[in-house]
Amino acid sequence: MNRQRALRLAFAAVVVTGVTAAVLPSVSTAEPDSTVQDAISRDLGLTASQAEARFAQQNDAAATESALRAELGEAFGGAYFDSDTGKLVVGVTDDSAASAVEAAGATASPVRFSLSELDAVKAQLDDRTAAAGVTGWYVDVMSNSVVVEVNQAEADAKTAGFLDAAEALSPAVQVAEVDQSPSALSHVRGGDKWSTTLFVCSVGFSATGGNGSKHFVTAGHCTQGAGPAYGHNGDAMGSLGGSTFGMSGDHGKVDVTSGGWTLQGTVNRYGGDDVAVRGSTEQPIGASVCRSGTTTGWHCGTITAKNQTVIYINGGVVGGLTKTTACAEPGDSGGSFISGGQAQGMTSGGSGDCGEGGETYFSPVKPALQEYGLSLVTG
């Protein structure tokens, strides 16, 4: 078997706390302040003006991807943002589709498999029971393949058989070896947070119900069960209001019923003015993202895959996650990923740490809002 060996490290960034106490912090809509810029410079190597230009290019690329996905149909082979050129790269299975891509200002790249074909192969894997050491699988639009990741240090006698069967599904399947297995991030040691009687997580995004009710979305593994929810200062906020942790994603809802808390369309910068949430336009693969969590604060990185199925070593097979080169640690779970003011999702889990790097997955925000019938609070 021709198996790709790959070690994937993480450098992304998270944003938390869409719900704060009654005293409202200031909100910035200007260029990043020194706190944000330090994180962007450290993790992405960009100046303030370069970062501003990057996020503008990503927003344009996201709109172009949506339009071309609909226009090209079965000829659409996936798309990703190329940070070197500042343009969207679109895979096409039909040469005649290239002209439409170029006319839209994107770069056409001939590929063997359409995105729908790759998604179909991944769906077959989703129906299988993984063997020991298999940490997940996803569609990799950059290589036009379905990648199955395996930690051989945890493999057993059945692992090779699972990988052989996966590769037999389609020539699109590739196997990549990783040196760590991901885990869900739950416990923390302090900082800006929300908590239950069992563990501590990070707040995602503020949201309202149709009747004006107050909520925030976070990680579903943080809201399993029932019971009270407490804010970063230990005061009661409300109660756990919903949880999804499985093939439909990792997202949950907390109902904010205490009058001592005010919803805000902002995210916590940890040391600087809060950042306004302007919407929830989904960014393409290759786009830069930033995050902030109660344990590790601010970090930045890149989206590397979408709709990944992840097998967590501490329990749970979770689908629909977005993979990033983000570092995160226990307690960052539920914290909000954001890109150019656009809410992307809530931290689910990952591998590694922010000392040596790692990979982090987030659960997209839109499915969470749709499931609970909520509207994002913007600033």
CB atoms within 10 A of CB 259: 8
Q: Which residue has the tokens 């940490």?
A: 135
Report, in this order, helix, strand and coil percent for the chain, each rounded to 5: 20, 40, 40
Distance between CA atoms of residues 90 and 98, nearest Å: 9
**Angle of CA points 281, 231, 379, to nearest 5°:** 30
Catalytic option among 109, 114, 202, 221: 221
Q: Which of 122, 148, 185 is nearest to 347 (CA)?
A: 185
Look up 250 and say whether it is catalytic.
yes
Catalytic option among 43, 140, 192, 250: 250
Distance between CA atoms of residues 15 and 297, nearest Å: 8
DSSP for residue 68: H
Element (H, E) at 121: helix 115-126
Torsions phi, psi for 9 (to 5 deg): -110, 165
Task: With H, G, I as helix, E, B as strand and everything else as coil, classify residue 51.
Answer: helix
Q: Which of 361, 363, 352 is nearest to 7 (CA)?
A: 352
Catalytic option among 109, 243, 333, 339: 333
Look up 248 and say whether it is catalytic.
no
Residue type, 326: A
**Angle of CA points 303, 323, 326, to nearest 5°:** 70
Q: Which of 50, 44, 16 is nearest to 347 (CA)?
A: 16
Q: Which of 336, 337, 328 is nearest to 288 (CA)?
A: 337
Task: With H, G, I as helix, E, B as strand and everything else as coil, classify residue 346.
Answer: strand
Query: How many residues are listed for the chain in this entry?
Result: 379
Distance between CA atoms of residues 289 and 39, nearest Å: 11
Look up 140 and say whether it is catalytic.
no
CB atoms within 10 A of CB 161: 11
Catalytic site positions: 221, 250, 333
